[in-house]
Structure 1
Amino acid sequence: MPFTPFSVPGTVHRFTPQLSAFELSTSSNTSNDSKAPNTLLWIGGLGDGLLTVVYVKHLAASLPPSWTLAQPLLSSAGIGWGTSSIARDAAEIGQCVAYFRKLRPGTKIVLMGHSTGTQDLVEYVTGKGADEREKVDGIALQAPVSDREALVHALGEKGYNEGVAAAREFVGQGRADDVLPGRYTKDLMGPAPVCARRWLDLCSPGPEHRGADDFFSSDLGEERWGEWASGIAKSKTPVCFLYGGSDEFVPKFVDKEALVKTWMRLVKEAGGSVDEVNGGIVPGASHNLQKSSEDVVKDLIKRVDGFLGKVEGAEFGAKM
């Protein structure tokens, strides 16, 4: 699909000396409304920058008047992902949430992650330091796919294994934060520098598959999925899974519907809240929806709006 330039008005919020968030202005909702709006913070995936995922501008324009959308620009944005981590992302998202909590006291804040952004959100509510981070009122996980399975597909077994071997060698030499030679990583979203530690986080080599980013691989099993599902339940954070029915980064052998149903069940069994009405498989949705029809984009937006309505209406029960 050819690139079409566009511009979007909005407000830049500088929430740390080095980090900012862009809040999109729309005809139905601006940051200057007399009633402080609830805030949807949208978190991108590997390689994403501001509005590089185009459905975001349509989502912002379609939100209910009581909601506004802002996208934090984390230090991992663009080519920065290769030397960052989901732990660092979660810490920076926490700073952004704290900023909007202070700016708009008493309102709702929901996090929506795309691709690796979904891993950021699971880390946010379940990872180390989660109890000290600002609580949020819900998380929406759009395209929660396996980086490891996508890498094996993209690089082939030989290329994947060579990259893992090189990264392990670097780590063994005490060089975990050194950038790997480009021949191992060049096929992954262009010329981003990737350090050995992050490569192993993403590749999550077996048999343990304990890479920091490996939450959603189809072969992990219920015991491993149950670890983060129980964490989400413990955090009292409602969750909405939005898995693309035509996600091109999911291997054909993966039963998407069974996978998502299992995740939903595990969160519920642990005592958590899951949006089963709006969540699930989004038919026809590609990874970032840029290969999807207008109707599919509208379907995703309707589901997100529905989830936000449930959050705003406190349909998930009291929060801690």
Structure 2
Amino acid sequence: MADKTPSQTQGILHYIPPISAFVPSRPSPSASLNPLQTQEPSNVLLWVGGLSDTYRSVSYPYKLASLLPPTWELAQACLSSSGHGWGHGSLGQDVAELAKIVDYFRNLKGGKGKVVLMGHSTGCQDGLHYVSSPVLEGTTRPAIDGLILQAPVSDREALVQETSKEVYGAANEMAARWIKRGKGEDILPFSVTPGVFGRVPISARRWLSLASPGPDHAGEDDYYSSDLPIERLRQSFGKVPKGTPLLILYGEKDEYVPQSVDRQALVRKWMGVVREAGSVVDVDSARLVRGASHNLNGQDEGVVEELCARVVEYLGRVERGGFETESASKI
């Protein structure tokens, strides 16, 4: 659930047409502090939210921004799909826009420093799509120095959990029929799409991408379902570049994960696929975030602080270039 408390936040809004990224201000360091703390941060943690998220809809990134080391700053991406735009967006569009933001900050920092992408919820799909999907001819996608997946859950499994079989099936049937008729970009009627997403205009194409029905579950957004075969995971987690260490932050109390899913076993399976490919996944990924809900809004301060501490520790290792590389057999 989004944080609906009115608020204002000081910072710098970077406009990268037609999208933007917001960097929250941090307390001004005292002149008595270490001179390094008065320097401009050289590294960027680029945070991207999930379905319907926009600035301030998720609270913890602003707490995290205040706790980052002085060499890092947090920038929250606002893409064309942010807010209610996701219903007719796509992962490919998101990745193309994120590439523009990464390129912007790399140029802003003079080509120095690190850029780490942190996805929340459907932002995790964006993150894994960024590093695993083919780069289209005629386009560029600057490399990132790290990837964090916070609350990487299955939209399909959440939909099945939150809606009746009849409603879910009817929406899938109509969307598939429209696509066959060349109406994939047309908006499905609100009377058909489940209220779990609210009254958001959703195209037939995007609906099937998220709902991913059928025995092969071919929806583009279906990255994190617990029943995906290992070969499918090798085309996503198995494509994480060797120079892009991965951190997974899976909530112990994420309300969108069915009770039947063994969360820790699922994360360990993903870790195994990454290591099988010779890439690096932070060993701390195997530990669920204690007490954490999906977006941590309204959570006890201790839960938020644990998540923030794990991100800060990870970023320190990214900056130093020091990661423990256990073999898959030790998972």
Q: What is the DSSP-based 3-state SS (H/G/I as helix, E as strand, rest coil) of the residue aligned with 1:191?
A: coil
**Percent identity between the two aligned chains:** 45
Distance in 2 between residues matched to 1:279 and 1:111, nearest whole Å: 20
Deviation digits for residues 154-206 of structure 1, max 9, x if unmatched?
11211111110010011011100000011122513211100000000001112
Equivalenced residues, count: 313
> Quick one: which of 261, 264, 268 aligns to 1:254?
261
* Aligned residue in 2 for 1:22: 22
Residue type matched to 1:15 in 2?
I
- Superposed displacement of residue 228, structure 1: 0.8
Residue type matched to 1:44 in 2?
G
Taking the TM superposition and a 5 Å limit, the aligned residue runs for 1:223-302 are 223-232=231-240, 234=241, 236-277=243-284, 280-302=287-309
Q: What is the DSSP-based 3-state SS (H/G/I as helix, E as strand, rest coil) of the residue aligned with 1:151?
A: helix
- Superposed displacement of residue 112, structure 1: 0.3
Residue type matched to 2:161 in 1?
H
Distance in 1 between residues matched to 2:154 and 2:231, nearest whole Å: 17
- Superposed displacement of residue 213, structure 1: 0.2
Aligned partners of 1:40 and 1:112 also within 8 Å = yes
For structure 1, which segment, 269-278 or 297-306, has the greater mean C-alpha deviation from structure 2 after superposition? 269-278
Distance in 2 between residues matched to 1:65 and 1:83, nearest whole Å: 38
> Quick one: which of 159, 163, 173 aligns to 1:155?
163
1:133 paired with 2:141, answer: yes
After superposition, the Cα gap between the structure-2 partners of 1:137 and 1:207, relative to the gap in structure 1 and judged at 3 Å, is same
After superposition, the Cα gap between the structure-2 partners of 1:161 and 1:291, relative to the gap in structure 1 and judged at 3 Å, is farther
- Superposed displacement of residue 128, structure 1: 2.5
> Quick one: which of 111, 132, 142 aligns to 2:150?
142
> Quick one: which of 161, 173, 195 aligns to 2:203?
195
When the two chains are superposed, the root-mean-square deviation of aligned CA atoms in Å is: 1.9
Residue type matched to 2:248 in 1?
F
* Aligned residue in 2 for 1:185: 193
Aligned partners of 2:268 and 2:286 also within 8 Å = no
Residue type matched to 1:40 in 2?
L
Task: Give unmatched runs, 5+ long, in structure 2.
Answer: 30-36, 325-331
Q: What is the DSSP-based 3-state SS (H/G/I as helix, E as strand, rest coil) of the residue aligned with 1:41?
A: strand
1:114 paired with 2:115, answer: no
Residue type matched to 2:170 in 1?
E
* Aligned residue in 2 for 1:60: 65
After superposition, the Cα gap between the structure-2 partners of 1:128 and 1:278, relative to the gap in structure 1 and judged at 3 Å, is closer
After superposition, the Cα gap between the structure-2 partners of 1:309 and 1:315, relative to the gap in structure 1 and judged at 3 Å, is same
Aligned partners of 1:186 and 1:192 also within 8 Å = no
* Aligned residue in 1 for 2:327: none
Question: TM-score, normalization: structure 2?
Answer: 0.90
* Aligned residue in 2 for 1:8: 9
After superposition, the Cα gap between the structure-2 partners of 1:66 and 1:125, relative to the gap in structure 1 and judged at 3 Å, is same
Deviation digits for residues 27-54 of structure 1, max 9, x if unmatched?
168xx95434210000000000112001
Q: What is the DSSP-based 3-state SS (H/G/I as helix, E as strand, rest coil) of the residue aligned with 1:174?
A: coil
1:41 paired with 2:46, answer: yes
* Aligned residue in 2 for 1:217: 225
Deviation digits for residues 225-274 of structure 1, max 9, x if unmatched?
12212211x45311000000000000000000000011111101110111
Aligned partners of 1:84 and 1:198 also within 8 Å = yes
